[in-house]
């Protein structure tokens, strides 16, 4: 970094010195230098440039390194470190302004003694070259320090000039001051009234070229300084749209552009946190319920649904004879089968109650052939459990009908659930199914509401009065169990 800063400052100063000499000796209209003036140019200018470069390099880059010592030591910056780091380009620019102001005063004073008629020429060209050097020093040093500035700024841009101030400064350096200098040259030529037209035309052409080049360079650097942060935010937004919520952009600008970059990072953090909450919420209540809750579409409503109730057989004895960790592992494997089949058929696992699970088809969102999907889910679970968990038996009941679906609970703690006769009926069918072959029973209403393709897999059997009910329920079992 010190090498990059040194090279940029040396090149900027050398260009400024060459511009000053060329303008004062061959471009600005007026008498040519006398012998004593040529001696001053040939000896004084190189000596001062060397001294200024050495002093500027040691003083300027030395102070810059002290300001970013925290980065070299690889530690977190303090508030003072942040401010000092962001002010390095301004301090280097002020240093260049001091050195060139001193040079302007020194050489103008010498010329006032040796050749007074060149006072305006030397003062103007030295000041003009100093402005060019200051502009380049600020822009190049700011560019060189961007990696360190990114670490210093973090997500809290502070200490830099605003975009409005920066734009006004760049306009002054790249356009305002050079054009004002061109105007002064024209006024000076008119006042003297002894400048040949050809010399005046050459002067105007050269100065105009310098103004155009300097103005273009300053504008280009300004555009890069503004477009860089905006482009990084644009690219980051593109990645976020593709689902990369861990995208972050480097914050390296101390102005409102840095606030834009930091704001993007905070937005990405918020989106990632929201997605984590959505995922966690969905795991607890089901993705469909979570989506409905996020859209405030969970008001109580009467819906036609099908309910699947699954309950382990002998879970009390299981918990009494096996270690808790083994019981939990068995329950997780059991629920994994249930959740997998319910998700595959488009249902929602509404809740886990101890060693039982309640799945709903048709709420919170309507579902085509909800009864058929529930019956197919029950058959798939009844087939997989003996094969994948041979030591684990479960009763399965399926019922269908109208329920009230919505949030139940207190204002600060809701639970989405379904309440109605089909839920109770499915629970009673599960109790009865535990003592029947196949461990699976469904109500005839569920079969009647199912599509013919699924209803064909079921066989109607006996009528029974389930516990807690006054009307008989016509039972249905899978045909392969009936055979």
Kindly state whether residues 77 and 222 are assigned to the same domain: yes
Whichever domain contains 399, its CATH number is 3.30.70.1230
Kindly state whether residues 203 and 317 are assigned to the same domain: no
Which of the listed residues 194, 219, 241 is the one where a domain comes to its end?
A: 241
Per-residue burial over 222-250, b = 16 or more CB atoms within 10 Å of its CB, e = otherwise: beebbebbeebbeebeeebeeeebebebb
Kindly state whether residues 26 and 148 are assigned to the same domain: yes
Which of the listed residues 194, 212, 241 is the one where a domain comes to its end?
A: 241
Contacts of 57 (CB under 8 A, 6+ apart): 6, 9, 10
Q: Which of 481, 435, 381, 373 is nearest to 461 (CA)?
A: 481
Kindly state whether residues 199 and 334 are assigned to the same domain: no
Examine residue 226 and state whether it is found in any structural domain, yes or no. yes
Give the pLDDT score at 307. Answer: 94
Examine residue 197 and state whether it is found in any structural domain, yes or no. yes
Kindly state whether residues 223 and 341 are assigned to the same domain: no
Kindly state whether residues 33 and 174 are assigned to the same domain: yes
Per-residue burial over 139-153, b = 16 or more CB atoms within 10 Å of its CB, e = otherwise: bbbbbbbeebbbbbb
Give the pLDDT score at 158. Answer: 55
Kindly state whether residues 319 and 452 are assigned to the same domain: yes
Rounded to two decimals, the pTM is 0.52
Longest dimension (CA), the chain: 128
Kindly state whether residues 322 and 231 are assigned to the same domain: no
Examine residue 264 and state whether it is found in any structural domain, yes or no. no
Kindly state whether residues 96 and 184 are assigned to the same domain: yes
Query: Could you tell me if 364 and 292 are in contact, meaning their C-beta atoms sit under 8 angstroms apart?
Result: yes
- The CA-atom distances, in angstroms, between 123 and each of 98, 107, 292 are 15, 8, 75
Domain encompassing residue 158: 2-241
Contacts of 3 (CB under 8 A, 6+ apart): none
* Sign of the CA dihedral running 231, 234, 236, 239: negative
Residues 441, 338: Cα–Cα separation, whole Å: 16
Which of the listed residues 219, 241, 263 is the one where a domain comes to its end?
A: 241
Angle at 407 between CA 303 and CA 404, to 5 degrees: 25
Residue 310: φ, ψ to 5°: -125, 130
Give the pLDDT score at 337. Answer: 92
Give the pLDDT score at 30. Answer: 61
Examine residue 444 and state whether it is found in any structural domain, yes or no. yes
Pairing of strands 413-419, 348-353: unpaired
Kindly state whether residues 233 and 305 are assigned to the same domain: no
Kindly state whether residues 216 and 316 are assigned to the same domain: no
Kindly state whether residues 11 and 108 are assigned to the same domain: yes
Examine residue 248 and state whether it is found in any structural domain, yes or no. no
Examine residue 283 and state whether it is found in any structural domain, yes or no. no
Say how many domains are in the chain.
2
Examine residue 274 and state whether it is found in any structural domain, yes or no. no
Tens-binned pLDDT, residue by residue, of the chain (483 aa)? 667 777 777 777 777 777 777 766 666 666 666 777 777 777 777 777 777 777 776 777 777 778 888 887 878 788 788 778 878 888 888 888 888 888 888 888 888 888 887 777 778 777 777 877 777 777 777 777 777 777 776 655 554 556 776 677 777 766 777 677 777 777 776 766 666 667 667 777 777 777 777 777 777 777 777 888 888 889 989 998 888 888 888 777 766 777 788 788 888 888 888 777 666 655 555 555 555 555 545 566 788 999 999 998 877 667 777 788 888 888 888 989 999 999 899 888 888 888 899 999 988 778 899 999 999 999 999 999 988 888 788 999 999 999 988 777 666 666 777 888 899 999 999 999 988 888 899 999 999 999 999 999 999 988 888 887 778 889 999 987 655
Query: Could you tell me if 438 and 383 are in contact, meaning their C-beta atoms sit under 8 angstroms apart?
Result: no
Examine residue 353 and state whether it is found in any structural domain, yes or no. yes
SS3 269: helix
Give the pLDDT score at 444. Answer: 92
């Amino acid at each position: 970094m010190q090498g990059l800063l040194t090279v940029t400052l040396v090149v900027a100063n050398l260009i400024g010195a060459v511009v000053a000499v060329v303008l004062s000796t061959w471009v600005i209209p007026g008498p040519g230098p006398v012998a004593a003036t040529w001696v001053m140019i040939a000896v004084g200018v190189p000596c001062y440039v060397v001294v200024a470069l050495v002093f500027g390099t040691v003083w300027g880059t030395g102070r810059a390194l002290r300001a970013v010592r925290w980065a070299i030591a690889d530690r977190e910056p303090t508030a003072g470190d942040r401010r000092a780091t962001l002010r390095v380009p301004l301090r280097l620019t002020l240093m260049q302004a001091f050195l060139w102001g001193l040079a302007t005063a020194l050489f103008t004073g010498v010329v006032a003694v040796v050749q007074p008629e060149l006072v305006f020429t030397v003062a103007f060209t030295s000041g003009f070259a100093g402005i060019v050097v200051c502009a380049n020093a600020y822009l190049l040093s700011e560019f060189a320090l961007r990696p360190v500035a990114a670490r210093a700024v973090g997500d809290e841009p502070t200490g830099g000039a605003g975009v409005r101030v920066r734009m006004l400064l760049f306009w002054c350096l790249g356009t305002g001051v050079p054009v004002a200098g061109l105007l002064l040259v024209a006024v000076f030529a008119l006042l003297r009234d002894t400048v040949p037209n050809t010399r005046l035309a050459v002067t105007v052409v050269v100065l105009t070229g310098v103004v155009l080049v300097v103005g273009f360079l300053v504008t280009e650097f300004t555009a890069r300084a503004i477009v860089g942060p905006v482009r990084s935010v644009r690219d980051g937004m593109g990645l976020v749209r593709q689902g990369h919520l861990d995208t972050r952009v480097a914050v390296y600008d101390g102005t409102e552009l840095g606030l834009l970059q930091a704001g993007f990072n905070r937005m990405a953090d918020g989106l990632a946190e929201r997605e984590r909450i959505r995922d966690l919420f969905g795991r607890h209540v089901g993705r469909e319920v979570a989506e409905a809750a996020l859209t405030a579409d969970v008001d109580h409503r009467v819906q036609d649904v099908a309910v699947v109730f699954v309950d382990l057989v002998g879970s009390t004895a299981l918990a009494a004879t096996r270690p808790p960790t083994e019981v939990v592992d068995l329950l997780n494997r059991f629920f994994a089968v249930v959740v997998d089949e319910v998700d595959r058929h488009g249902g929602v696992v509404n809740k886990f109650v101890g060693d039982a699970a309640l799945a709903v088809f048709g709420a919170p969102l309507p579902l085509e052939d909800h009864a058929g999907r529930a019956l197919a889910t029950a058959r798939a679970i009844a087939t997989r459990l003996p094969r994948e968990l041979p030591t684990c038996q479960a009763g399965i009941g399926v019922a269908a009908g109208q329920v009230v679906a919505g949030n139940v609970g207190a204002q600060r703690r809701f639970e989405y659930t379904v309440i109605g006769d089909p839920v109770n009926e499915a629970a009673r069918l599960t109790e009865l199914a535990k003592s029947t072959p196949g461990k699976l029973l469904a109500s005839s209403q569920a079969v009647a509401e199912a599509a013919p393709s699924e209803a064909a897999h079921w066989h109607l059997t006996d009528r029974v009065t389930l516990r807690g009910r006054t009307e008989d329920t016509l039972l249905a079992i899978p045909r392969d169990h009936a055979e």
